[in-house]
Structures are given as structure tokens and as C-alpha cells.
Amino acid sequence: MVFESRLRKDADGEIGRGRTDSICLEIKRLESQVDFEIMRGPIRKAGSKQGLRALPKISRRKKLIEVYKRKKEEERIIPLHAYQMQQNWIKWSPLLGRGMEKSIEWGKIMTKLSARLVKFMMNGRQNTLPSPDNLKRWNVKAGKEFKCGLCSQTFVTAAHILAGCPYVINKENKAPGTDRYTWRHNSVLSVIRKHLKKKIQQVNSSVKKAPRKKEIIFVKEGQKLKQRPEAQKPLGMLDKAQDLEYDFDLPAERKRSYQMHQKVCATTFIPDGYLVSHVEKKCVVIELTCPMEERMDYWHLLKKNKYQEELTSDVYSIYYLIVEVGARGVLPITLRKEMRKMGLSKKEANSVVEECKLMATRCSFVIWCQRFNPEFTATEMKI
């Protein structure tokens, strides 16, 4: 009753001096959206069984709140597109679709990482690091020329420092020792290696079982089924082989020089790593790139084409595992998908992704901190 009478007054324009809208009018608008959504019914995703599953019923009040939250989230995101500098993350951040409060990542960022690393991560993703170009933009010490600490170019971007400085690519790269970009790449690769090695050891030592027939389990009257028989895991690409060999291009751990397995493909081409089964005649070629997030698609296509051209075999079937881990710790879904294809469980694949993210961010933070130091020493990073 109160609502109805307030609504009538608000609709007549009695919403108070200085106000342009009222709560009652807002609720009325949301209600019409709710009415429409109830009439339309829920949107179901594609899939064979989707139409058969009953959806939870929610009250009108909850539905109204849900519609309101969605509207507010849209209002928050839309103006971001108008920004020139700080909206890059919209293109590659996985947070956008899920909303910040649902993201597991946020919880971990806030509780597990140090304050300095979080600060770097946030500023890096929003393009607000104190890089020479930003210092000029912010008019810090007007008239001063801010330079890259390594190559002396003026007003360079954070992307230049984190992944594109010619000093590192051309000079440090040729010097003895590992240059900083390769060091970050190798650190992330060693995370992938650690997990794949574990999986390979499991596969090689496992006893092959004959596929179990479906059996009927009888349960006595009045009793309950104690334990469901464990579901058979789907086989990954490697699960059939038991003679897996592997090697990775990680100089820290090797005694002999690294090359592609010449039995598979005679080439001078050096991928980041490979797994091979001579019995199954299968080979997985691994290639990892750690570019800036904006360039991930570009690198993926480039590497894929290059590898498909260079690494071929008449005898072995080759699978190209080409993944990217962003320099600021953001990565596309590819890595998780590829790890699942290799036969890693959901939990294992998730921990590969999480560890790669953390490793890339930590290494980039070190690169950022060392931006004025031309004498970089690569130290081993462990998670």
C-alpha cells in the first residue's frame, strides 16, 4: 500500500527537490524487466541434456535483486570503453565475464600475495605503472626527459620495459648467461615441466588394466549403496603410452646439449620441449611464449604456423602444444585445455595455470625492479 501510494506520487513528479529519480520508479522499471524475463523463460546453454534439467526456482524478490546487480555491472563496464589508457584489461581479463565477486583469483590475490606484488600487478594490468611515458603524461618534473634505464630511449612504455627493450633482445641475449626475458620464459617453462614430468612418471609406472565391463551392483533392501565405483577417467593423449621420453630446453638442468629428437624429425629447429612415445609413434612438441597480453593471439598464430611448417614427420604423429602465458600473469584458456588433453585432472590443470600465473607475475616484477640495472643475474625461481 505504502509503495503504491509513494509510486503514484513519484510518478506525478513529487520526487523531492533536486532529485531526478526515485527508488519506487527504479523498482517499477526493474519489475517490467523481471516480467519480461519470466515471460521469456531462462536462457539455456547448448548441449544435449540442457533442456531436460530443472532450473532452480527463485523468488520474485531475488530475481529483482539479480536484475539490479546485472544492470549496475553493465553501467560500470560500459564507460570503461571510453578510456584510452586504462581499458586494455577489458580485452583480455577473464574477470569481466564473471564479475569480480565470483572470481577465485581475487580471493587469492588479496590473501596470498605480498602487498608490493599486488600493487605491481594492479598497476601493470591497468597501465598505471610509473613508466617513462606515464611520468610524462602525469607531468612529473615537467620538462625532464625520462629514459629507459637500459637502452636510453625516451618516454618508453611499460610494455617496452617488460617485454620489448632492444638492449635485452639484442645485447643481453648475446652475452653469456640468460637474459631477463628468456629467464622469465624458462621459469614458467620449468613449472610446466614439473607437472608434465610428474604425469609422465605416473603413466610410465602404471599397470595397464583391461577396460572394466559395466557391472550391475545389487543393494539389499533397506540398505544404501556404500560407495560408488570410481568412474573411469578419460584417457589423455599420453595415457596409452608407457615408454614416454621427454626433454626440455632448460639450460639450468642439463649436462648435454639439447636438440629435437632426431628419430621423430631431423631438423635444426629447437622447440621448448617435447614428449615422445616410440611404441605409439606419437610426439608432443611444446612451445611456450611469454608476451604482453595484447600480443598473445599474434604469437599463437605465428608460432603455430611456424611449427607446423618446420616440424613434420612421416612416421610419428605430432601434436603441437603451443601456449602463451602473459607477462602480467593473465593467460587465455589454452593452457588449461591443453593440460587436460595431456590427461591431467581438473585440479592438476588448475594448479599448472595458477603456478604459471604467479611465476610470470613474480618474474615480471623482478624485471620491473631491475629496469635500471644492466647487469642482470638470473636466479632460479621456485614456487
- Least distance to Zn ion from the beta carbon of 164, Å? 8
- Least distance to Zn ion from the beta carbon of 374, Å? 10
CA angle 46, 293, 311 (to 5 degrees): 80
Q: Which secondary structure element, helix H or strand E, spans residue 371, and what is its range?
A: none
Question: What is the contact mask toward Zn ion in residues 123 to 152, using x (rule: CB under 5 A)?
Answer: -------------------------x-xx-
- Least distance to Zn ion from the beta carbon of 170, Å? 10
Q: Which is nearer to Zn ion, 165 or 331 (CB)?
A: 165
- Least distance to Zn ion from the beta carbon of 312, Å? 38
Q: Which is nearer to Zn ion, 229 or 374 (CB)?
A: 374
Under 8 Å CB-to-CB from 258, ≥6 apart: which residues?
247, 248, 249, 251, 270
* Euclidean distance between CA atoms 29 and 33, whole angstroms: 7
Contact criterion met (CB below 8 Å) for 331 and 357: yes
- Least distance to Zn ion from the beta carbon of 61, Å? 57
Q: Which is nearer to Zn ion, 150 or 296 (CB)?
A: 150
- Edge to edge, what strands does the sheet with 273-277 contain? 244-248, 273-277, 282-289, 317-324
Residue with cell 548441449: 47
Q: Of 155-174, which residues contact Zn ion (CB under 5 A)? A: 165
Q: Which is nearer to Zn ion, 151 or 265 (CB)?
A: 151
- Least distance to Zn ion from the beta carbon of 329, Å? 22
Phi, then psi, of 122 in degrees rounded to 5: -65, -45
Q: Which is nearer to Zn ion, 163 or 192 (CB)?
A: 163
Q: Which is nearer to Zn ion, 106 or 155 (CB)?
A: 155
Q: Of 4-23, which residues contact Zn ion (CB under 5 A)? A: none
Torsion of CA 18, 24, 28, 30, to 10 degrees: 80
Phi, then psi, of 250 in degrees rounded to 5: -120, 105
- Report how many residues bind Zn ion under the rule CB under 5 A: 4
Which residue in 376, 362, 303 sits closest to 328, CA to CA? 362
Q: Which is nearer to Zn ion, 34 or 148 (CB)?
A: 148
- Least distance to Zn ion from the beta carbon of 372, Å? 11
Interaction between residue 367 and Zn ion (CB under 5 A): no
Contact criterion met (CB below 8 Å) for 238 and 277: yes
Inter-axis angle of helices 115-126 and 346-369, nearest 10:
90
Binding residues (CB under 5 A) for Zn ion: these are 148, 150-151, 165
